[in-house]
Structure 1
Amino acid sequence: MQQLSGLNREQRRLSNKKIKQISLKGSPREKLSLETLSTLERKIQSYGNTLSGDHKKALLEVSDLYAKIVFNEVAGRYVVALDCGLGKTLSVVALVASIHKLGYDSRSAMICQSRVSELCLMADALIEAGVPAHKIGLIHSYKYDPLARVVDGEVLNPDGSVKLGYAAKPSNAKDDSSQFQFLLVSHNKIRGKREIVKHTQFKGKPRTITIWDESFISTEATSVGLRDLKTAIQEFENSHLGCTDQSLAFVGWLKKSYDLLATEEQSQKDGTLARVITLPHLSDEETSAYERLAEYRNRDKRTEWRQHLRDLLGMALDPVRVSIAGGEAVLQFSDTISKQLTNLVVLDASYRIRELVRIDPTLHEPTFFVHRHNLKSYEDVTLHRLNYYGSRVAAETPEKSRKVAKEIALVIKDIPIDEGICLFTFKWHTGKQEHAEVIKAVLISEGIDPSTQITLADGSTKPRFIWKTWGQETGSNNASYCTHLFMVGVLRQQENHFLAQLVGQSQDLLRDMNQSTLSQAMVSELAHLVYQAGLRSRARIVSHGKALASHLYLVLDEPRIEGYLANIMRNLKIVEWLPQDALLKKKDVMGEVTKKILRGFEELNNEDIFDISIREFKELFDLNDVPNQTFRCARDEALHTHIGWHLPEGSRSFKRVFQAVA
């Protein structure tokens, strides 16, 4: 199909004539591609977006990909990595509406999203687009109250808070999902072979296409730190001295397992490559009995220790590996989404920077896509980064949390009263004051009313403040009128668990994961969260190829994230958020260590040295007192900056780079 951008009047006339011919006499695949594109363009423009020529070309490619899969011209697992706000989710509505409109009743689709509220919104959007309700199946396990108040797909309590465990629409496809031509299901509901078989059939045949909205994590990973495991075994043995033979047998199995793992750990530290390990065999009866022994219901440190024992028991059936990257740990993963699930399209704007998804060997961007990257310019968007503690632990520290809240209040005071503000905070269930409530209290003390309403240009009234927690960085776009968005810290994963996930996604239990690889992947995960959260704001909306003017404020002590964001957000302006409280700026320890490492490389360049171990390097340049994690991050930053030295995969020595002389 000829593309319309950049054509003169005569060429456009001929193209329009060809489009009309296709709509009347084209193949079913061509008709579906054209109808999907036309529906999608109208839908995007109805939300205030103005499409550029490149944007239209990209939407044509997406529509054509869907049509080719639906009519069996291509097969596999594909990724569509268009920027947030360019119409990926709306393309799903357009595709389904077009399949129905053209009468392709033997073609079916399964749509997978992460949140039940998103599925309910999708069901409403499909009905609004003309798809009959009886063709739409919805699967969830939430309760349904027809009298409840619903806003943006969320069921609300009388006080306006989200009513947990309730859905805006009833589940109608639990018993027989195969009768529905279009099935809406959450990511979690199709994990496992049994669920795949149950939901991927339409009237006895495999569904024509599956669309996975956002992150495609196809494996479930488990990790246990070896130091934590040793402590957990000692605690269990001490608390069961003189107990039953069964307890003694369990302790014996735990110690044998730990000795195997510790021996493997030392072997790797001595330079041996990682190998697959099988833990001592357990019968089903032994496993069940030991799981009961490892139960602990009180809320104290023992709860965590006993969980480590149960995790190890869960690993007994399949091979494991030990990794010395991160904190030394035993890792295992299993597939949660069958490899038989093909004809799959993953819609993931973060794909190009998110190592956790990119490492999956089953995913590919379509080779016939031309306009894939950086279609959207963020030249009118500014990221302000405050170099201060941005973890949940810091947010739970009252002194740090209130300091940050005060700084946010000072910024908000300078924001015009008629501009919307969205804030991302942490959530926790420890009996402490909620993070958002801490910030609200400081805002009120500074004379700012968090309950203020504003009137938008279209005359509608909206809350000036929208509050979100991490986990809501995808899905609802109810804050897309907000010109300002604050991320008060970013949710981080525990290092060993993330390492296990990374190995699992690679589909290779023995995949080499050194500390540098792990560190960079974890930064890319932070960048993914910041990108997705930031695009809940007005920056989501695109006009003539540009995101609407917005300000994003980030509290995070990780400078490397800026490179990832600049890579995915073309022309983004990044500035330092200078706090008015001089004590709020974290000392730039990382920068000083990086500079010290760079000075070390420069000194080595003046010597006849071409290889130096990390241990010798640290001793030579007085870096032994630097914490390991700080040194690793600074080392990675220095190696990225200095082209004269590198650290080969798996090596414990820096190597000089030899360059050919012209």
Structure 2
Amino acid sequence: MDRLIPLAMHHTLGLLQKHNNKPNQLHSKALQKIIEGMASQLEENTARRAYPLACGLGKTTCVRGLIFAIHNLGLNYSVVISAGQVEALCNLKKDLIDDGIPEELIGLLHSKHYNPEKEPDESHASLPSNTEDQIENRPFVLVTHNKIKHHNTWIESYYGYKDKRRNLVIWDESLLSGNAISLSVLNIKNSIDSAINGYEYKFETNELFSALVNFLNQIKLIFESKKGMDDIAIKLPDLPSEIFNINQQIDLLVTNNDTRDLKSLFECLNYDGELRYIKEDSGAIIHFRQLVPDELDNIVILDASHCLRALTQFDPTIESVTLDCPKSYENLTIKYFKSGAGRNTIENEFFHKENSKLVAEVAEIIFFILAQKPKEPLLIWGYKKKGNKSIEEVIKKKLREMIPDIDFDVTDRNGNKIINFQTFGNELGLNGYTHCKHSIFIGLLYLKRSYVAGMIKGQSGNMDKDVNENNLLSDAVLKEQAHLFYQAVSRGSSRITEDGQCKEHTAYFFHSNPSNIKRAVNDVFPQANWERYESIHLNNEIGLYSEIAGRINDKLNSLTEEDFINHNPRTKFTRKISTRALKKAYFSNVERHQWSNSLRVFNDDYPWDWEIRGQSFVKSGH
């Protein structure tokens, strides 16, 4: 280890400086701590440790430094490196080859096709996957998270090396040990009713379907017996042995009904693990499948979101390592606007309204950036295509109306596209957009509460865990959105770090409750500037009320005991102040109707610090 750590550190720092990332002293110490931790676990074989270094500070570069040192010192260690994106692993393999690691020492496992004449896309990778026989004698193996988690993957295909297990697994991004299944009870009941009606109408004399219908009736009765209950285990009957091709039988019985949840319920019966009924999302069945093998008990987790995401912290097998490496985001400006941002709202605006004000507003932002800063690239985030309808195409159509000669393939002097589009779900592992100085968020992906409830229970290893205790569920749902926002913003220019500060970057952000997201990401975006976006086409009043509510919350939190006593000379209250006194002292320029509307927004947006009781602000919990 005396030679491994210095050589790995030297190579890591050299790579960062080569790509214009200039570490300061605290940054260098954090990198040293990660490399020392990885080196220690090459020998230890007993821990899962998470290193929450901020985005863009060199976590993956540390991996390159470690592999470089192991190879150049001729050490007999073997390492698995796992990431979520296939192309991220392809790029890492290319980088390791550039570092002087022979290609025949690096294994790559994925499930995509390879065609040297095709660009990487959803079904094609830029490098071919190796066979399991080729992997066996290669000391360094790159494998996707999905490959490790797939039930058909044999652990020895990536974890075995020369008849023994590999020394270390390095897991890039969050380690979630499994996946929750969330199924709508209403959808299941509707599918069962449709199947029974189809049987009675078309196949009542056909004994082939009678066993299935009896089975469906049993499920229906069990669901009805749990009506009004919450968070309870459900025991369903085993699938009768005489029922063959159950999904095919369902398709014959059911027409004009989405049967996906019912079929998924059948699939759950083939797996170990408890089924539970919860009230969330109007009633749901949840199930958790453990997917990461327990044998992978020696993992270094490189996860910028570890301290942000509640889900990762519920896992009792993961230790968190403290890294004293603050990254300043004073050069990041987040321009927020309060508006509906869920998938249904956005799709209604983009796909069903002929003259959507939201579409016009997004186009106006892009038009402004192109007019004022035509050489500064921008990255637009939105939901994935729905059928043949695409947010990207709607925006392009609107921009063509505004700028008839617009060229969507134009590049800057370095060959980088000026106008870039990405979809939610790709916010991890993409490092090719650091040239983008502007990001625009059209909504923000929202996970179902029932799904997150299943993840909390599964990650904690306790399906009986009360997800509503201390607002665990609401907090986890919010933090999952915050994690997505943090990671997606960090694909842009603020990813680059120089002397502890991010590069200049502006993000435009539409959300129904931006104050909640701000609160959740404050620790990972320290010193970031939050500004209310002044809309041209949308109603600014709601945003103004939200801004005033935020200023009220900030002012209340800044008041000292002496301030409270001065405002309450008779009662000497130190955790209470009348709304009238606060307005008179600090918000005298706010109009009366603005103040009353802002108080209503305050109640919705800032329930965690203060609450309004009668005509006074009172510290929560007092």
TM-score, structure 2 as length reference: 0.82
Aligned residue in 2 for 1:494: 448
Aligned residue in 2 for 1:225: 184
Cα pair distance change 1:40/1:218, threshold 3 Å:
same
SS at match of 2:3: helix
The answer to whether the aligner puts 1:520 opposite 2:482 as a matched pair is no
Aligned residue in 2 for 1:235: 194
Instruction: Give the Cα separation in 2 of the matches to 1:215 and 1:297.
Output: 42
What is the CA-CA distance between 1:334 and the residue it aligns to? Answer: 1.6
What is the CA-CA distance between 1:345 and the residue it aligns to? Answer: 1.3
Identify the match of residue 344 of structure 2 among 385, 393, 404: 393
Instruction: Give the Cα separation in 1 of the matches to 2:220 and 2:94.
Output: 53
Instruction: Give the Cα separation in 1 of the matches to 2:548 and 2:323.
Output: 43
Deviations 1:377-399 (A, max 9, x none): 00111011121222222332233
Aligned residue in 1 for 2:124: 166
Aligned residue in 1 for 2:421: 467
Taking the TM superposition and a 5 Å limit, the aligned residue runs for 1:257-336 are 257-268=219-230, 274-286=231-243, 288-295=244-251, 302=257, 304=258, 306-317=259-270, 318=272, 319-336=274-291
Letter matched to residue 32 of structure 2:
L
SS at match of 1:169: coil
Aligned residue in 1 for 2:594: none
What is the CA-CA distance between 1:145 and the residue it aligns to? Answer: 2.1
* Structure 1 unaligned residues grouped into runs of 5+: 1-28, 149-154, 157-161, 269-273, 596-605, 607-632, 646-655
What is the CA-CA distance between 1:200 and the residue it aligns to? Answer: 0.9
Instruction: Give the Cα separation in 2 of the matches to 1:490 and 1:212.
Output: 26
Instruction: Give the Cα separation in 1 of the matches to 2:240 and 2:537.
Output: 61
Contact 2:132 2:158 in 1 (8 A): no
TM-score, structure 1 as length reference: 0.78
Instruction: Give the Cα separation in 2 of the matches to 1:586 and 1:496.
Output: 30
What is the CA-CA distance between 1:361 and the residue it aligns to? Answer: 1.9
Cα pair distance change 1:426/1:245, threshold 3 Å:
same
Instruction: Give the Cα separation in 2 of the matches to 1:593 and 1:240.
Output: 57
Aligned residue in 2 for 1:110: 80
What is the CA-CA distance between 1:192 and the residue it aligns to? Answer: 4.5
What is the CA-CA distance between 1:120 and the residue it aligns to? Answer: 0.8
Deviations 1:569-612 (A, max 9, x none): 111111111211144776899999999xxxxxxxxxx9xxxxxx
Instruction: Give the Cα separation in 2 of the matches to 1:348 and 1:284.
Output: 45
What is the CA-CA distance between 1:197 and the residue it aligns to? Answer: 3.1
What is the CA-CA distance between 1:501 and the residue it aligns to? Answer: 2.6
The answer to whether the aligner puts 1:576 opposite 2:529 as a matched pair is no
Aligned residue in 2 for 1:188: 146
SS at match of 1:479: coil
Deviations 1:603-624 (A, max 9, x none): xxx9xxxxxxxxxxxxxxxxxx
Taking the TM superposition and a 5 Å limit, the aligned residue runs for 1:577-656 are 577-583=533-539, 637=605, 639-642=607-610
The answer to whether the aligner puts 1:68 opposite 2:40 as a matched pair is yes
Aligned residue in 2 for 1:383: 334
The answer to whether the aligner puts 1:436 opposite 2:392 as a matched pair is yes
Aligned residue in 2 for 1:24: none
Deviations 1:455-496 (A, max 9, x none): 45xxx2322112212222122222101111111212222332
Deviations 1:195-245 (A, max 9, x none): 323211111111111111113222122122222222221121112214333
Contact 1:424 1:470 in 2 (8 A): yes
What is the CA-CA distance between 1:442 and the residue it aligns to? Answer: 1.7
Aligned residue in 2 for 1:405: 362
Identify the match of residue 165 of structure 2 among 203, 206, 212: 206
Cα pair distance change 1:103/1:453, threshold 3 Å:
same
SS at match of 1:526: helix
Instruction: Give the Cα separation in 1 of the matches to 2:211 and 2:547.
Output: 52
Cα pair distance change 1:262/1:585, threshold 3 Å:
farther
Contact 1:196 1:337 in 2 (8 A): no
Aligned residue in 1 for 2:55: 84
Identify the match of residue 416 of structure 1 among 351, 359, 373: 373
Instruction: Give the Cα separation in 2 of the matches to 1:97 and 1:301.
Output: 58
Aligned residue in 1 for 2:17: 45
SS at match of 1:179: coil
Aligned residue in 2 for 1:484: 438
Deviations 1:87-119 (A, max 9, x none): 011111111111101111x21011111121111
Taking the TM superposition and a 5 Å limit, the aligned residue runs for 1:5-44 are 29-44=1-16
Aligned residue in 2 for 1:509: 463
Aligned residue in 2 for 1:427: 384
Aligned residue in 1 for 2:135: 177
What is the CA-CA distance between 1:291 and the residue it aligns to? Answer: 3.1
The answer to whether the aligner puts 1:343 opposite 2:298 as a matched pair is yes
Cα pair distance change 1:570/1:450, threshold 3 Å:
farther
What is the CA-CA distance between 1:497 and the residue it aligns to? Answer: 2.7
Instruction: Give the Cα separation in 1 of the matches to 2:367 and 2:217.
Output: 56
Aligned residue in 2 for 1:122: 92
Contact 2:49 2:299 in 1 (8 A): yes
What is the CA-CA distance between 1:450 and the residue it aligns to? Answer: 4.2
Instruction: Give the Cα separation in 2 of the matches to 1:356 and 1:425.
Output: 24
Instruction: Give the Cα separation in 2 of the matches to 1:429 and 1:637.
Output: 31
What is the CA-CA distance between 1:454 and the residue it aligns to? Answer: 4.6
Cα pair distance change 1:245/1:80, threshold 3 Å:
same
Contact 1:407 1:579 in 2 (8 A): no
Cα pair distance change 1:294/1:537, threshold 3 Å:
same
Contact 1:579 1:585 in 2 (8 A): no
SS at match of 2:181: strand
Taking the TM superposition and a 5 Å limit, the aligned residue runs for 1:121-140 are 121-140=91-110
SS at match of 1:461: coil
* Structure 2 unaligned residues grouped into runs of 5+: 552-570, 572-600, 614-618
What is the CA-CA distance between 1:414 and the residue it aligns to? Answer: 4.9
What is the CA-CA distance between 1:86 and the residue it aligns to? Answer: 0.3
Contact 2:168 2:298 in 1 (8 A): yes
Cα pair distance change 1:393/1:71, threshold 3 Å:
same
SS at match of 2:228: helix
Deviations 1:597-652 (A, max 9, x none): xxxxxxxxx9xxxxxxxxxxxxxxxxxxxxxxxxxx9978554023799xxxxxxx
Q: Percent identity, aligned pairs only?
A: 25
Cα pair distance change 1:529/1:387, threshold 3 Å:
same
Cα pair distance change 1:178/1:265, threshold 3 Å:
farther
Deviations 1:525-570 (A, max 9, x none): 1111111111111100001100011101112212211111212111
Instruction: Give the Cα separation in 1 of the matches to 2:218 and 2:602.
Output: 38
Number of matched pairs: 555
